[in-house]
A and B are shown apart, each in its own frame.
Chain A
Amino acid sequence: MGAYELSLLTLIGINVLLALSLNLITGFCGQISLGHAAFYGVGAYTAAMLTKAGIGFAPALVAGAAGAALLGLIVGIASLRVRADFLAITTMGVGFLFLGVVRQQEWLGGELGISQISESGLGETGFLLLVLGLAAGVFAISLYIKRSWMGFAFDSIADDEDTARTVGIDVARYKLVAFALGTAIAGVAGGLYAHYARIIVPDAFGFTVSISILAMVVVGGIGSTVGVLIAAVLLTLMPELFRFINDYKLLLYGGLLLLTMRFSPAGLAGLARLGWTAGRKAERRPA
């Protein structure tokens, strides 16, 4: 495998992690977040600062996850107070706030960010395997959660919070769990990204990134683990495979968001389900 393929696969793995982590919050638990890149950024900055200070790669990753989860919990607490549209705006606000603060911090490199981040020490192939392993792990955990009691609780909260509360589900606790879990994974993705790119700038965690992650979740089908995985891979690959798209990457993401919401709000997963039922009906029809 060439250096380019290695690098591309690593990027795909990181994006899959990001998309699946947002899917836990927005897809499973129904809490819309427009600021997911902030948690990604907290993980990246924390891990980068720590390895630069001489701490090992693994503890730095964990610390990045913890840092992101801490901020995630705070936003989770906010989600207990504000709902739906208000929550969307609050999370977006958190994203801008993160960016606005980081940009002005000398010790975080300001606009220029952090460069010359140390290597993970795993080699390129080892690093790729770590990223893919983590992505596969999160994929498996997502599938497991969906079928577990917690998954049902998430579902009910996404469907109708008040009814969920009426039937005795501890809505607050499950929301916090969803936020902590999702943002911790985003933090890991951030730590990985910092040691993959080895340079981070504030803009790598801006609003457009939040929207790109959201696009993966939405295009795949909100809440569908397999759909989100496929969409994350496709949306990362498309600008790379078709160079001419790269210039219009944002247009592609924006257009996909627009068209998906307008014509198939359940995303690819919804289309697949539609195709599946149509196929079944055609089979049953007498020849």
Chain B
Amino acid sequence: MLYLDLTLQGLIQGSMYALIAVGLTLVYGLLRILHVAHAGLFTLGAYIAVTVTNAAGSLLLAALVAVPLVGLAGMAIYRLLYEPILHRPPFVALIASIGLFICMEEGFRLVFGPYGNSFDLSPVEGSVQLGALSLQTVEAATIVAAFGLLGALAVFAGRTRIGVAWRATVTDPEMAQSFGIDTVKVRYLNFFIGSALAAVAGVLVALLNNFVEPTMGSVPSYKMLAIIVLGGLGNVKGTLVASLALGVMESFGTIYAGHIMDRDAIAFLFLVAVLMVRPQGLFGKA
């Protein structure tokens, strides 16, 4: 029973990771940029959700505001920060991104205060029974949202013309361009979708914890890097598997290895160990 419960908690955490990490791995696949500031967008989504819900009293409205707004913010980051430095060596964008992320966190601290905010009224309550397992409604919603959205993304990328253009651009930007695909539009789309997914994760985490704080993105931001490396940078399916695997491993690790290292170190131990054996990641191509 304990095992089942731990696995389930791991899957909840893992699907959260997946929602954030997919945007990151998409950006890497397209531009070879490690987009650390992505987790800042996740925090932004969470803050917008709490602020709008408290002001307007509607969680639905808050989500409908947060998700597209954060998507647009992601596009702005691409346009203003990454596009002008695309031709530089990769570490330039990485360091710039870390700088932006720190600025975003400090910005949240200045605007919303250092102590964090909560919903005035907890908007979602109750629980769902799954056989012998009991889940909070929010936890169930997290799993459903992650699988639903990522499934929709897979259909979108596989079945629509825009999706095909997107995949073509990831595979070979120059060839895609010579076939008449507007690769710049693809990049904007990429940032919009990735950031919007991070915002969804932000809204869900805000609901799960009923708490948002300026630094809530710190741990995810760096852990997401570990995940996308494990998944083979740019590999969406690998990223999903790595997210879920890490979620489950952490929930077991905290119980069985918690006295040696804390939860967040487990991810990096796994990461370093895997990279030493397979430098291209678990699911990367050699």
Interface residues in chain A, defined as those with a beta carbon under 8 Å from any beta carbon in chain B: 32, 34, 78, 81-82, 84-86, 88-90, 92-94, 96-97, 99-101, 103-104, 207-208, 211, 214-215, 218, 248, 250-251, 253-262, 265
- Residues on A with C-beta less than 8 A from B272 are 78, 90, 93-94, 97
Q: Is the CB of B275 within 8 A of A257?
A: no
List 23 interface pairs A-B (beta carbons < 8 Å), by A numbering: A78-B272, A85-B32, A89-B226, A90-B271, A96-B264, A96-B265, A97-B268, A99-B265, A100-B263, A101-B265, A207-B218, A208-B102, A211-B98, A218-B95, A250-B105, A251-B107, A251-B110, A254-B106, A258-B96, A261-B92, A262-B85, A265-B85, A265-B88
Q: How far is the CB of A87 from chain B (nearest CB, A)?
A: 9
Cα(A250)–Cα(B99), bound, Å: 9
Cα(A85)–Cα(B226), bound, Å: 11
- Residues on A with C-beta less than 8 A from B266 are 100
A interface footprint on B148-178 (CB within 8 Å = 1, 0 otherwise): 0000000000000000000000000000000
- Say whether B90 faces chain A, with CB atoms less than 8 Å apart: yes
- Residues on B with C-beta less than 8 A from A93 are 226, 268-269, 271-272
Q: How far is the CB of B36 from chain A (nearest CB, A)?
A: 10
Question: With A81-B276, A96-B264, A265-B92 as given contacts, are A257 and B99 in contact (CB-CB < 8 Å)?
Answer: yes
Q: Is the CB of B91 within 8 A of A89?
A: no
Interface residues in chain B, defined as those with a beta carbon under 8 Å from any beta carbon in chain A: 32, 34, 81, 84-85, 88, 90-96, 98-103, 105-107, 110, 218, 222, 225-226, 229, 233, 258-269, 271-272, 275-276, 279
Q: Is the CB of A256 within 8 A of B99?
A: yes
- Residues on B with C-beta less than 8 A from A214 are 95
- Residues on A with C-beta less than 8 A from B81 are 258, 262
Q: A-B contact count, CB below 8 Å? A: 129
Closest to A206 in B: B218
Question: With A85-B94, A89-B34, A92-B222 as given contacts, are A250 and B265 in contact (CB-CB < 8 Å)?
Answer: no
Contact residue among A86, A97, A261 (Cβ-Cβ distance under 8 Å from B275): A86
Contact residue among B34, B101, B218, B261 (Cβ-Cβ distance under 8 Å from A97): B261
Q: Is the CB of B265 within 8 A of A257?
A: no
Q: Is the CB of B106 within 8 A of A100?
A: no
19 more contacts with CB within 8 A, not counting A92-B225, A97-B268, A218-B95, are A78-B272, A85-B32, A85-B94, A88-B34, A89-B271, A100-B261, A101-B260, A103-B262, A104-B259, A104-B260, A104-B261, A207-B218, A251-B102, A254-B106, A255-B99, A257-B96, A258-B103, A261-B96, A262-B81
Q: How far is the CB of B234 from chain A (nearest CB, A)?
A: 11
Closest to A207 in B: B222
Cα(A88)–Cα(B92), bound, Å: 12
- Residues on B with C-beta less than 8 A from A89 are 34, 225-226, 229, 271, 275
Q: How far is the CB of B229 from chain A (nearest CB, A)?
A: 5
- Residues on B with C-beta less than 8 A from A96 are 222, 264-265, 267-268
Closest to B269 in A: A97
Closest to B281 in A: A86
- Residues on B with C-beta less than 8 A from A81 are 275-276, 279
Q: How far is the CB of A239 from chain B (nearest CB, A)?
A: 13
Q: How far is the CB of B257 from chain A (nearest CB, A)?
A: 9
- Residues on A with C-beta less than 8 A from B268 are 92-94, 96-97, 100
Cα(A261)–Cα(B99), bound, Å: 9
Q: Is the CB of B271 within 8 A of A261?
A: no
Closest to B104 in A: A254
Question: With A250-B102, A262-B81 as given contacts, are A82 and B91 in contact (CB-CB < 8 Å)?
Answer: no
Q: How far is the CB of A98 from chain B (nearest CB, A)?
A: 8
Q: How far is the CB of B24 from chain A (nearest CB, A)?
A: 12
Question: With A218-B95, A257-B102 as given contacts, are A82 and B265 in contact (CB-CB < 8 Å)?
Answer: no
Q: Is the CB of B99 within 8 A of A100?
A: no
Closest to B222 in A: A92
Q: Is the CB of B103 within 8 A of A254?
A: yes
Q: Is the CB of A104 within 8 A of B262?
A: yes
Cα(A248)–Cα(B103), bound, Å: 10
| Interface-central residue, A32, A208, A251, A253, by most chain B CB under 10 Å | A251
Contact residue among A85, A251, A259 (Cβ-Cβ distance under 8 Å from B34): A85
Q: Is the CB of B106 within 8 A of A250?
A: yes
Q: Is the CB of A100 within 8 A of B262?
A: yes
Contact residue among B95, B99, B264, B275 (Cβ-Cβ distance under 8 Å from A78): B275
- Residues on A with C-beta less than 8 A from B275 are 78, 81-82, 86, 89-90
- Residues on B with C-beta less than 8 A from A218 are 95
Cα(A93)–Cα(B272), bound, Å: 7
- Residues on B with C-beta less than 8 A from A32 are 91, 94
Cα(A85)–Cα(B225), bound, Å: 10
Sorted nearest first, the 5 A-B pairs with minimum C-beta distance are: A100-B265, A254-B102, A257-B99, A258-B99, A261-B96
